[in-house]
Structures are given as structure tokens and as C-alpha cells.
Amino acid sequence: MKHNVAGGIEPFWKDFPLTDIHDCITPDILHQCYQGVFKHLLKWVQEIVGENELDERFQVLPPTCGVRHFKKGIADFSQVTGTEHKHIARILLASLTGKVDQRGIVACKALLNFIHLAQYPSHDEDTLGYMDLELNVWHKNKAYFVKQQTTKDQINIPKFHSLLHYVNSIKWLGTTDNYNTEAFERFHIDMAKEAWDATNKRDHFPQMTQWLSRQEKISSFDFYRNWINSTSTNQDQHAP
């Protein structure tokens, strides 16, 4: 087994002449952008602004449709989910005014714009050009966070480096919604966590399997009933 994985003596793709392993690593909006890049950015902003003051700024923002209102702030969160990071990203810039230097705000804005653009369901040369532009703005202004001594690694983080490959990956593999692991995270909740909660936590595997089987049967029956009802309605409408 040791010789068949990348962690062995030689990588398994060594003798594949047409394989570039870097092209096989797809972008991941959830884990690279929100749970990686944005997570680091939020940590740096908290160090500059202060956790308590940033929480206060989140709390005083007026509730907005479609945006979560963090009435207790985020400092006490033990683990922030990808969805929560998305909602924080929508209000972050509004909470930095007057506390973060203009260069820092420009850097944050560029990175948030890049993440947003990377999620477009369709792309052309213009939108891909916007992504390159925003990434260049980020790289020109990211030194602000180094000067603030919020990061000691000079932002030498693999997930930040991965952003350089997004445009080429989109050209090669299509839009990021084709390979975003967020969809599988959703399936994990629906088909694993909820199934686990339905068991008595003992000999759980057959119970989870049975629960999933019942869910599929109920879903199939609902689909059948809806089809019957729609067919009956159409027949009644066309009856003389």
C-alpha cells in the first residue's frame, strides 16, 4: 500500500507522461476559499481591530434580508462553518471602516471580490479577467497585514497560492460549481448525520441503512403521487 500512494517512495503519477498532477487538483470554494483563505483573513482582521470591537461592530449592524445578524458576535464561536463564513464575508467590509487602513480595506475587498467571482455559474474572458485583476490588487496590498504583524509567515500559505490556479482550472475544467465539495458536505448531513441521529447509537450501520432505504421509498412514493395528481389534473382540464 505504501508504494501505491503519493506518500510512498515515488508518486504514482511518475510514469504517466501526459499527467500533470497540478492540473488534477481542482479548486474548492468551501475548503480553500471560505474555510481557508477567508478564515485566515478574518483572523488577521480580528487581531487588527480587536475581537471585542469587531463583535460590537457586527452586533450594531442593522438586520438585512438574506444576511445573518450576529447579535452575539463571533468571538465565542468554537467552530465556524462554511455557511457562517459566507455570512460574515457579506458584512466584513462594513465593519472595518475607520479602524483599518485604506490599503487593508482594498486588500480585503479584492479578496472578497475574487471569491465571489470564482463562484459564477458561467464565465467568459471578461469575468476571468476580473478574477485576475482582483487577485493582482490583493497581491499588491497584502503586505499591509505583514506590516501589522498579524502574520509571521509572510502569507506563504498553500491555500493562498492555490488562487493563482483558479482561472486556468476554470478554463480547463469548467465553473467551480462542478467540483465544489460543498455539495458533498450537504449529502454528508442528509445521509450520514441525520441517519446517525435516527439510530440508538448501537450497531448503527444496519439502522442507518434501513433509515436511508425508508427515506428513498418515501421520496419515490411522493414523486409517484405528485405525478398521479398532475396527470389527473391535466385529464380533467382537457375533458370535454
For every residue of 49-113, DSSP letters joined together read: H-HHHHHHHHHHSPPBTTB---TT-STT-SS--HHHHHHHHHHTGGGTTTTS-HHHHHHHHHHHH
Question: Which pLDDT value is given to residue 238?
Answer: 60
pLDDT of residue 230: 85
pLDDT at 128: 96
CB atoms inside a 10 Å sphere around CB 34: 23
Q: What does the pLDDT read at residue 23?
A: 77
pLDDT values of the chain reduced to their tens digit, one per residue, 240 residues: 445 554 556 777 788 888 877 778 889 999 899 999 999 999 999 999 999 999 999 999 888 888 888 988 898 887 888 889 999 999 999 899 888 999 999 999 999 999 999 999 999 999 999 999 999 999 999 989 888 876 665 677 889 989 999 999 999 999 998 888 877 776 777 778 788 888 898 888 899 899 989 989 999 999 999 998 888 776 666 655
Domain regions of the chain by residue span: 24-178, 182-230
Residue 124 C-alpha cell reads as 467568459
Closest CA to 166 of 208, 142, 131, 124: 131
Calpha distance 174→26 (Å, rounded) = 10
pLDDT at 152: 60
Residue with cell 499588491: 140
- pLDDT for the residue numbered 8: 56
Specify the pLDDT at position 77. Answer: 85
pTM of the model: 0.73
- pLDDT of res. 1: 44
